[in-house]
Chain A
Amino acid sequence: QKEVEQNSGPLSVPEGAIASLNCTYSDRGSQSFFWYRQYSGKSPELIMFIYSNGDKEDGRFTAQLNKASQYVSLLIRDSQPSDSATYLCAVEAGGTSYGKLTFGQGTILTVHP
């Protein structure tokens, strides 16, 4: 079992729709969760982080965390073609305090006009 699992997709949504990206993790001691976006041929960029159970909103992005279910998700509202990218879920290893991340394989999102 992989430590951080994502549906590789591709996930295709029409422009203006909500894109829902999901991630599960195996380390129950994990405390911090991150979403990175990676455009083709580019390096990852941080878009959201969440530490507490519940929802965290930032513009069109909402991160959701459920530690009991070991599940974290990212919702993108009003999806735009410019949101087309690979979205990486990353989990800070339990028991560490220095930001070592375990990444999922990423979900490819395509937003079509």
Chain B
Amino acid sequence: GAGVSQSPSNKVTEKGKDVELRCDPISGHTALYWYRQSLGQGLEFLIYFQGNSAPDKSGLPSDRFSAERTGGSVSTLTIQRTQQEDSAVYLCASSPSGSGGYTFGSGTRLTVV
């Protein structure tokens, strides 16, 4: 597609529920990144994909967080047993060659109540 597409744009969920966030990167971009932005916080790296593999998942906050990427394209970030501290904007970005010059998606605002 023309840009990085994320869905849903907003998600309100009850504490303890699981959520899935989706990212569809720019066509042909092999590198895909997930970041999290909390109120008053900077962007926090979560995970990096090159193709379908995740060489760096060091930023995932806990084992409740997981992500996958299929077909070298769409990625899904899953948060199990959501907690209130998971509330944030989750941003996906892609780049053609694994450089820091990303294109970000519009994000998913997750609110855990």
Write the residues of chain A forming the contact surface with B, with a CB cutoff of 8 angstroms: 4, 32, 34, 42-46, 49, 88, 90, 92, 96-106
Contact = CB atoms under 8 A, between A and B. Distances in A.
Nearest to B59: A100
A99 B107 contact: no
Contacts of A44: 43, 91, 104
Nearest to B40: A105
A103 B56 contact: no
Chain B interface bracket (under 10, 10 to 19, 20 to 34, 35 or more)? 20 to 34
Interface of B: 31, 33, 35, 41-43, 45, 48, 50, 55-56, 91, 95, 98-107
Contacts of B98: 97-99
A98 B48 contact: yes
A42 B106 contact: yes
A53 to B, nearest CB: 18
